[in-house]
Amino acid sequence: MNTHDIVSAAEAVQAAIIANEEHIESLDRAIGDGDHFINVRRGCEAIVALRSDLLPLAPSEAFKRIGMKLLSTIGGASGPLIGSFFISMGKALEGLPEPDARQFAHALAAGVDAIKTRGKADVGEKTMLDVLIPTSRLLLRLAGEGSDRGTLCAKLKAEAESNMLATRDMIATKGRAHFLGERALGHIDPGAKTSQVAVFAVCDLLTVGATS
């Protein structure tokens, strides 16, 4: 993986988030305050706009730069969470000019850990972590086993989707939705949805025309 791949992934995620605008909007209107789509779209725009600044940087520096930018760009609860995700990924990749799948998997896990720490949250609380934690654990396992790219991406997508859907039956114990108690039941968490959309976008990008 190099920084060009990171920028391409950001562009793919941006397009996928925009394509899912209506759904994401309606989820945060139902159990949040309706700004999640705008927050995430703004974050994607900020990353894509950094393109020419990012391309000369090593992946580690590029992720740190993205994280710093997002801290000051995305509002809401998700801004500091997603910002610290990228900064921690960048720190984990220091000294690795072209990380392989296993190194990337470890960095992703470090990023997800940063969200857990900053959000004081874990699985089962009806947040983005319900998608990010299991998907990142699965990536660690599959990358460690040397799984081929097609299999790995198909399994990651299935994991992200089932865990996103599972948030529908959860009561929130973190974020705005926790004020709703049982009234949040029946609604997918918006952050879980955007996380699943991002996983799909990156996996689809990685498997376009790929045979291995």
Return the residue nearest Mg ion (CB atom): 32
CA contacts within 13 A on the Cβ side of 148: 6
- How many residues are recorded in the chain? 212
Q: Which stretch binds ligand ADP (CB under 6 A): 3-11, 46-54, 122-130, 148-156?
A: 122-130
Task: Give helix 149-166 / helix 129-144 axis angle, nearest 10°.
Answer: 160
**Dihedral pair phi/psi, residue 191, rounded to 5°:** -70, -35
Q: How many residues bind Mg ion (CB under 5 A)?
A: 5
Q: How many residues bind ligand ADP (CB under 6 A)?
A: 24
CB of 76 to Mg ion, least distance (A): 5
String of contacts with Mg ion for each residue 34-73, x by CB under 5 A:
-xx-------------------------------------
CB of 126 to Mg ion, least distance (A): 13
Instruction: Give CA angle at 175 (25, 169), nearest 5°.
Output: 75
First-residue to last-residue Cα distance in the chain: 16
Binding positions for ligand ADP, rule: CB under 6 A: 28, 32-33, 35-36, 39, 76-78, 81, 115, 119-121, 127-129, 174-176, 189-192
